[in-house]
Structures are given as C-alpha cells and as structure tokens.
Amino acid sequence: SACANFNIQTTNMNEFYAPVAVFGFNRPKHLEKCLQSLINCRNFEKHPVYIYIDGPKNPADIPLVNKSRFVAESFSTSSNSIP
C-alpha cells in the first residue's frame, strides 16, 4: 500500500499538528479569503501549510493564475496577514 510521508511538527509526545493542503487556481480573491481564515485559527502557526496552484489551462487564465501565485507567495512570507 502507498503511504504519504508527512513531516508532522510535534511539541511533545501527546501533541501533533497535521499538515494543511490548500489548492488554488484562477481565483486569487477566494484563495486570499481562505488563507486569511487559516491565519485567524488558533494554533495556526504550528501547522505546516502547503499551497498548490495549478498552471493556466489557456492564455486567458494566465493573469489570474499569476495573481493566485502572488497571494500564495505573500502568505508564505507572512504569518499575520496577506498584503
């Protein structure tokens, strides 16, 4: 059977923090709201967060996908808010 190997952060033997995966594409405002909601959660900073942004499916998607990537990059450098 296949098994995913996650690097789960622990502070003691009885406490663990599951990784969070966020998927985005061409809706940067939705991604921003989702990430801001995560930031507002208790103990958010203890959970590893992985953001996946799909590539553009056609040329019209490029500007919005790039904006979504910017939101994701901004999130990865800030733990309090998204510019």
pLDDT digits (tens, 9 = 90+) for 31-59: 999 999 998 998 888 888 999 999 999 99
**Residue 78 pLDDT:** 65
CB atoms within 10 A of CB 65: 19
User: CA 62, CA 69: separation in Å to the nearest integer?
Assistant: 10
User: CA 64, CA 25: separation in Å to the nearest integer?
Assistant: 8
Among 34-38, 59-63, 72-76, the least confident range = 72-76
**Residue 12 pLDDT:** 58
**Residue 35 pLDDT:** 94
pLDDT tens digits, residue range 3-30?
A: 444 454 555 556 778 899 999 999 999 9
CB hemisphere CA count around 50 (13 angstroms): 8
Closest C-alpha to 81, from 52, 47, 38: 38
